[in-house]
Amino acid sequence: MVTYKCLYNVKFYHEYYERFTARDFQIVPSPLTNERLLSFGLIFKQTEQGFSIFYQYEKKRLIDSQKEELTLQFGILVRNKHFETFTESSRSLNEKYAFIDDASFSVAIDNGDSNSHVRLHQGDSLDESSVFRCFYNHDSLSAMLGANVSIQKGDLTIYQGELLGRETGQSILGDQYGIYEVKTDEDSAQLYYLPESLTKVFGVIELKIPGKDITTAQVENTEFQARLASRKVQWNYYFVPEPGKNYDEVDLYLNKEKLSFSNPQNVTLLDGRHAIKVMSEEYFSLKNRYENQTIIARLTSKPLESTEEAHVRELQLPTPDVTRIKGKRMDGAEIYFSDIYIYI
């Protein structure tokens, strides 16, 4: 009988869904990783919350006899076109997020119970410290870096000198993928060397096959977590009254607690209609479902005569639609907002 045991379990938590889920991801092992999984009798399986790596107990000596650690790389392909809208993400087109099982990047969270895990990023959630500019097997290094370059990994210098124009990532680094310290005449930066198969991914997870006297028994059932924050957006409500009607005061409440919104502004929409605009004074994290959160607007129209009573109208308001989030640059920063139109 063949016995498989869990070596690693990787889970993604997203603030937008308020739970562990990999619903927006397809996890793709790199070609070299597929070869290593096969060589060591390891099985990769994607799960609802992430993925797991299992090892064949009868072949654990193949792992335990390793003298050096070997890296497994898994690309995160995003299947939801709105994912980077509702996720706090700051990467550019040629950058990837690195989720790395490395002492300099990961944080061990020991709660003294079954919730203990290793976090695959520095902060409480994924942030810009995990973003790296990338280059690939067939990229021309001279076109990207210039003529003179030094490429280092840790204390080891991989290449130093003048590039002649023919050098590529493959010719200099082969299949030694990972993060390198690259110095040129003008700059110094950490660059992420990846296989061509991972050009379209959002991020890359790196795990280690045990080596250097670390056995499978010591790392068995290790849980890794990656936590993603929800994007914070400003909520802008536009109340569009019928012609001839107007409201002087607009107050918004969340479950009877008053929210901080700007004073109402009279604005003219593109179609020429009059609207009353209020903007949130703070940025709220987007959510997939705003359960038990009822947003109420109380609109007050002051009387023309002192003897008349004020007219008050209450409305239950919708929350932001993730497909309609917009962004703009302001004071050198990218901000996001949701314009919500209420016809009354």
Domain that holds residue 257: 232-343
Number of domains in the chain: 3
Together in a domain, 181 and 291: no
Together in a domain, 65 and 150: no
Together in a domain, 219 and 81: yes
Together in a domain, 113 and 9: yes
Together in a domain, 163 and 301: no
Percent of the chain with pLDDT over 70: 94
Helix (H, G, I), strand (E, B) or coil at 83: helix
Query: Residue-wise pLDDT tens for the chain (344 aa)?
Result: 789 899 999 999 999 999 999 999 999 999 999 999 999 999 999 999 999 999 998 888 888 888 888 899 999 999 999 999 999 988 887 899 999 876 545 555 655 555 578 899 988 899 998 999 999 989 988 887 777 889 998 888 998 888 888 889 999 999 999 999 998 877 888 999 999 999 999 999 999 887 777 788 888 899 999 999 999 999 999 999 988 788 889 999 988 899 999 999 999 999 999 999 999 999 999 999 988 889 999 999 877 666 567 788 999 999 999 999 999 888 878 899 999 999 98
How far is the CA of 325 from the CAs of 196, 202, 235, 262, 291, in angstroms? 32, 20, 10, 20, 20
Q: Tokens standing for 131?
A: 């973003």
Q: How far apart are the first and last CA of the chain?
A: 70
Q: Is residue 152 part of a domain?
A: yes
Together in a domain, 209 and 183: no
Distance between CA atoms of residues 172 and 149, nearest Å:
12
Residue that finishes a domain, picked among 228, 249, 272: 228
Q: Which helix (H) or strand (E) holds 225?
A: strand 222-228
Together in a domain, 14 and 86: yes
Residue that finishes a domain, picked among 147, 171, 194: 194
